[in-house]
Structure 1
Amino acid sequence: MCGIIVRAGVGDALGELLTGLENLEYRGYDSAGVALRRSDGEIAVCKREGETEALRSDLDADRLSGAVGIGHTRWSTHGAPSDANAHPHTDGENRVAVVHNGIIRNHETLRAELRDRGHEFTSETDTEVIPHLVADALDAGRDPSAAFRSAVDRLEGSYAIAIVVEDSDEVYATRRGSPLVLGLGETANYLASDVPAFLEFTDRVVYLEDGDVVVVDADGYQISDVAGDPIERPVETVDWNAGDARKGVYNHFMRKEIDEQPVSLRQTVDGRIENGRSVLSEFPPGSLSDVDEVIFVACGTSYHAGMYGCTLLRRRGIPATAVPANEFAHEPMPLSDRTLVIAVTQSGETADTLASLRAAEESPARTLAVTNVVGSTAAREADDALFIRAGPEIGVAATKTFSSQVAAIALLADQLEASGAGRPDRRADPAQSNDRDSHDASADTEGSISELDTLPDLVETVVNDGGAARLATQYSEADSYFFIGRGVGYPVALEGALKFKEITYEHAEGFAAGELKHGPLALVTPATVVVAVFTGRNDDRTLHNIREAQSRGAPVIGIGPDSARAARETVDEYLSYPAVDPDFAGILANVHLQLLAYHAAEIRDRAIDKPRNLAKSVTVE
C-alpha cells in the first residue's frame, strides 16, 4: 500500500516518474504527487488528491522539470485523502521533500517536540515529521546524508523513505518493514516500492534489506547501514517483461490476468513434474521427511490458497492447519521442530504475514515462503522459499496468483507425501522415506500430480466460456450472493465471495456447504443468489444443501464438472468445466467465479482494478 518511485539520471525525470506512478497505482490511488530538483537547485512540488491522471493534468499546467525527482501514490492511513495529506511532504520551505510508505509510530511525540522548536505542520500525516527532522539536522550544520541518517535514527515503526534536498543531485532512501528496490538503468537509476514501477526502463535490480541506507544519483549508488558502514547487495536480473505490467488491449488488468492464467500455470509447473511425481529442486529427497505437521499463515486470497493446501495435505495423511496471519502473529500456536510453517504471500511483503513468519522463526519450527517475488522480504527471511512464478500481477483483486499458489502448494504436498512427512512409521526406515519409487501414490490420492500439466489447457476452455457474463446480467438485481462448497470447494467458495465483494461492493459471503443450515439459511430469500461449487467429490451432500436453499425460493448457480448430471439437473443455471481430478477441480471452478465477479462489477461500472478502500500490497498492520 502506497507506492514510491525515484528517478535520478540524465534528462528530464518527470515523464518517467509519472510512468512509475501509473504503474504503481495498484498500491494506492487516493492521491499522488512528485517533487523535482530543478536546474537551479530548488525543489518544486506538485501533488493532489485523486488518481495519477489528475496529477498529470496539473503538471501539464505547471510544466515542472528536473533530472532528479521522487513520486508517490497514496493509500490513506494517517489523514483522509486530500491535497494537504498527499505526498511528497516538505519542511515548509521546500528545502527537503519526502515520500514515505509505512507508519511512524512515534510521530506524535516527534511532532510535539518539533512544534516546540518552531516548526509548523500543514497535514494530518505521520510522514510530515520526517522532512522537519531532516531540516532540523541541516540547520545544525550536518550535510544531507548525515541529516537523513540522524532523522531516520529517530523514527519508530515501519517505513520506506526517499528524500531530495535542495542543491543536491542525490536521493537518500532507506527501508524498514516496507519494500524498496533499486533499479539500475543505462542513463538513470531508480528506486521503487515494486519492480513494475520501472520495468519499462530496466530489469537490473538490487533488493534492499531492512536497515539499508542507499544514496542514488545519475552515476550510481552506494548502500550502507545507518552508521555509514558500506554494504554489498547482489545485482539481479528480473525475468518479467514490461508488457506484463501493461493492460495492452484489455480494459482492466483483472481481465487480462484472468486470461493469463494458462500461461502463469505453465510457468508454475514447468520442469517440476517428472514421471508423474513432483520434483522441486528446492527440496532434495529426504529434506522434508522430518515434517510432522504443516501450518499455513496468510491473508486474504493467499489465506484461501493456504486453506486449499490444507485439504490437499490432509488427504495425503499430513496434518495441516491454516491460520489468518493477523491472528497467528499475536496468538501463535505451539510449534515444534517437526512443524513446517508456510507463509503464503504474493508480494512477499504482506505485513501481517511477515509478522507471523517472524513469530515462527523465534520457535523451533522450520519456515517456508510461498511467494511470487524473488528477493522479497518473505523469501529472504524464511528458511526456504518456493516461487510460484506467476509473473507480475497488477490488479488489486488477485486472480492468476491464486491459481499458481494452489498449483505450487499441490506440488509441495506431493513432495511432502513422498518424503514420508506426517508419517513417523515411514521415517523409521530412512531409505524408504528418501526413495520416491517406494511410495505408492494410489494408496493415498485418487489422481496423479501429473494432471497439473493438463490444467493450463483446461483453464483456457473456462476462460473462453461466456456463461459467467450472461449470469452476471441475469442476477444483477439480487440483494445478496452466497457461495458454498465442500473440500477444496470450500476455500474456493470463500475466494469467490471475496472477489465478488471486493470489486462489486455487493453483499457476498462464503460458507462451507454444510454450514448453510446452521444460521446463514435464515438470510436466504428469493433475492439471494446461491453459487454452489461442485468438485466431483461429495457432491451429493452439496446437492442436499442447495435444495434447502431452493425450497426458500433462492436461485442456485452451480459450477462443476461437465459430467455432473445430477448437479446440472438440480440447479437453476450451470457453468461447467472439463473433467479433472477433484483435487484440482477448485482451480477450474475458481476461474468461473473470477469471471462472474468481473462481469458483475463491469455491469455496475465499478473501478475494477482500483476497488474502494483497498490496495494491492498491504504492507502495514
Structure 2
Amino acid sequence: MKKYKFFMRGQKTLEDIARGSAIVAKILAADKDLANWAEHFQRVDKIYALGCGSSYWLAFLVAAFFRRAGRDATAVPASEFFLTGYPVPRRTLALVFSQSGETTETVRAAAQAREQGAAVFAVINRGAGALAKMADGFFLTPAGSEQILATKSFAAGLAAAYLFAHYLTGARPDDLSGLPVLYEKILALDIKPLVRCLAPAVRAYSLGIGLDYGLAGEAALKLGEGAGLQITALPALEISHGYKANLDGVPVLVVGLQTAYHKVYENLIREIRQAGARIISFSPLNLPLAADCNVEIPGPGDTAIFTAVKLLQRLAVETALARGLDPDQPAGLAKTVRRVNF
C-alpha cells in the first residue's frame, strides 16, 4: 500500500520560520561577498531601495539603516518607481530586493533605474532570474525554497541588507553572534494571549516609528496574507489623524523597539487606549510598555530587530490557525507575481 505523508496546517511555514535561524547564521559567517560589493558601490551618493510585498518592507528597513548612518536613501515600492517616475541623479544605486528575481514590477523598476544611469545591485533568493541577469551585481541568499509566506527568505534578506548597509556606510554593525540562542527563546515564547486578542478581530492596526514601522508593515502584511486579517500599517502618530475614530475594541499592534521613542510610544498608547483600542506592544527587554499585552523582545540593540521578525512571523501563523485558516496555502496568492502585457 502506498504511504502518504500528512502535514498539519501551518506546519511547513512554521518549519520555514525555524530553519531561517540557521540561514541567517550562515550569512553572518560568510559575508565577504557583501563586503566586496559594498566596496564596489562605495562612491554612490543616492540610494533607492526597491521591492514589492515583503521585499518592499526589506527595502524600507535597509533604507532606514542607510539614513541612520547619514546616507541619502529612499525606499519606494517597485511599482511606484517605474509607474510614477523618480529622479535618478548621478552616482545612484538601485538596491533591489526580490525572492524570485522575476516579479514583474521589480524587474521593470530595476530596468528603468538602469536606463536612467543608476547602478543596480540585487538581493535575491534565486540566481537564474531576470534581475540577476540585468544587475551590475547580486547577492544570492541561501534560503532555498519555502512556502508562499516569505519567512526564512525575509530573515535571510534582512541579514544580507543589514550587513551590506553597514559595510557601504562604514558604520559598525551590532554584534549578532548571539542570535541563534535568542531565536530559540523567541520560538519557545508563549504568544497565546496575543493570538486570543487578534484571532476574533475584524480589523486591526500595526504601528511603529522608523525601523519599527518597517517591522510593523511586515507584520501587517503577514497577518493579512496568512491570517486573512484586515490590518493597516501606519507610521505610529498617524493613528491620531482620522483613524482614531474607529478604534473601539480594535486590536492595535505597537512595535516599540527603538528606545529613543519610548516616551512617544507611552503617550500614544495612553491616547489610543482611551479611544477603546486593545494594545499589543513589543518593547525592548526590561523596558515594558503599558499595553493590554506587552512582549519584551530579547536582544540588545539591532539584535532585537531580528528576533522580533521571528516573533511576528509566528504570530501571523498561529493567528491564522486560530482563525481556522491554513497559512501554508493562503487564498489567492502565488510565490511569484508575473504580469502579462503590463
TM-score (norm 1): 0.52
What CA distance in whole angstroms lies between the structure 2 residues aligned with 1:329 and 1:284? 25
What CA distance in whole angstroms lies between the structure 2 residues aligned with 1:247 and 1:415? 45
What CA distance in whole angstroms lies between the structure 2 residues aligned with 1:405 and 1:529? 29
Q: Which amino acid aligns with 2:19?
A: E
Give the secondary structure class of the aligned counterpart of 1:330. helix
Work out which of the residue numbers 189, 214, 221 in structure 2 matches 1:465: 189
Deviations 1:422-480, CA, capped at 9 Å, x for gaps: xxxxxxxxxxxxxxxxxxx4xxxxxx42523322332221111122x342124432232
Aligned to 2:251: 529
Unaligned runs of 5+ in 1: 1-52, 54-245, 274-278, 419-440, 442-447
Aligned residues: 337
Deviation of the 1:590 alpha carbon: 2.4
Query: Would you say the 8 A contact 2:46–2:89 is kept in 1?
Result: no
Work out which of the residue numbers 337, 340, 354 in structure 1 matches 2:93: 340
Aligned to 1:574: 294
Aligned to 1:491: 214
Deviations 1:372-427, CA, capped at 9 Å, x for gaps: 1122221121111022222222x211112222212111111111112xxxxxxxxx
Bigger radius of gyration, 1 or 2? 1
- Higher relative strand content: 1
What CA distance in whole angstroms lies between the structure 2 residues aligned with 1:503 and 1:283? 35
Q: Which amino acid aligns with 1:504?
A: A
What CA distance in whole angstroms lies between the structure 2 residues aligned with 1:288 and 1:533? 32
Work out which of the residue numbers 136, 142, 146 in structure 2 matches 1:389: 142
Aligned to 2:324: 605
Deviation of the 1:505 alpha carbon: 1.6
Give the secondary structure class of the aligned counterpart of 2:240. coil
Q: Which amino acid aligns with 2:307?
A: L
Aligned to 1:9: none
Query: Would you say the 8 A contact 1:369–1:378 is kept in 2?
Result: yes
Deviations 1:524-574, CA, capped at 9 Å, x for gaps: 112x01111111331211121111110012111111222113x1xx11111
Give the secondary structure class of the aligned counterpart of 1:549. helix
Deviation of the 1:249 alpha carbon: 8.2
Deviation of the 1:262 alpha carbon: 1.0
What CA distance in whole angstroms lies between the structure 1 residues aligned with 2:68 and 2:97? 20
Tell me, yes or no, if structure 1 residue 413 matches structure 2 residue 165.
Answer: yes
Moved more, 338-347 or 246-255: 246-255
Query: Would you say the 8 A contact 1:337–1:366 is kept in 2?
Result: no
Aligned to 1:263: 22
Q: Which amino acid aligns with 1:449?
A: P
Where do 1:280-291 residues align within 5 Å? 280=34, 282-283=36-37, 285=39, 287-291=40-44
Query: Would you say the 8 A contact 2:205–2:253 is kept in 1?
Result: yes
What CA distance in whole angstroms lies between the structure 2 residues aligned with 1:376 and 1:502? 25
Work out which of the residue numbers 358, 373, 380 in structure 1 matches 2:126: 373
Unaligned runs of 5+ in 2: none
Deviation of the 1:330 alpha carbon: 2.1
Query: Would you say the 8 A contact 2:201–2:229 is kept in 1?
Result: no
Work out which of the residue numbers 295, 305, 313 in structure 1 matches 2:48: 295
Q: Which amino acid aligns with 2:43?
A: D
**Cα separation, partners in 2 of 1:310 and 1:506, compared to 1, 3 Å:** same
**Cα separation, partners in 2 of 1:454 and 1:600, compared to 1, 3 Å:** same
Where do 1:14-413 residues align within 5 Å? 251-272=10-31, 280=34, 282-283=36-37, 285=39, 287-393=40-146, 395-413=147-165
Query: Would you say the 8 A contact 1:282–1:386 is kept in 2?
Result: no
Query: Would you say the 8 A contact 2:49–2:96 is kept in 1?
Result: yes
Q: Which amino acid aligns with 2:332?
A: N
Query: Would you say the 8 A contact 2:174–2:303 is kept in 1?
Result: no
**Cα separation, partners in 2 of 1:298 and 1:474, compared to 1, 3 Å:** closer
Deviations 1:81-133, CA, capped at 9 Å, x for gaps: xxxxxxxxxxxxxxxxxxxxxxxxxxxxxxxxxxxxxxxxxxxxxxxxxxxxx
Deviation of the 1:369 alpha carbon: 0.6
What CA distance in whole angstroms lies between the structure 2 residues aligned with 1:260 and 1:330? 37
- Higher relative helix content: 2
Query: Would you say the 8 A contact 1:560–1:589 is kept in 2?
Result: no
Deviations 1:259-311, CA, capped at 9 Å, x for gaps: 112112112222227xxxxx7354274x2221101101110000001001111
Give the secondary structure class of the aligned counterpart of 1:543. helix
Deviations 1:329-365, CA, capped at 9 Å, x for gaps: 2223111331000111011111110011111121111
Query: Would you say the 8 A contact 2:208–2:216 is kept in 1?
Result: yes
**Cα separation, partners in 2 of 1:284 and 1:543, compared to 1, 3 Å:** closer
What CA distance in whole angstroms lies between the structure 1 residues aligned with 2:24 and 2:9? 20
Aligned to 1:557: 280
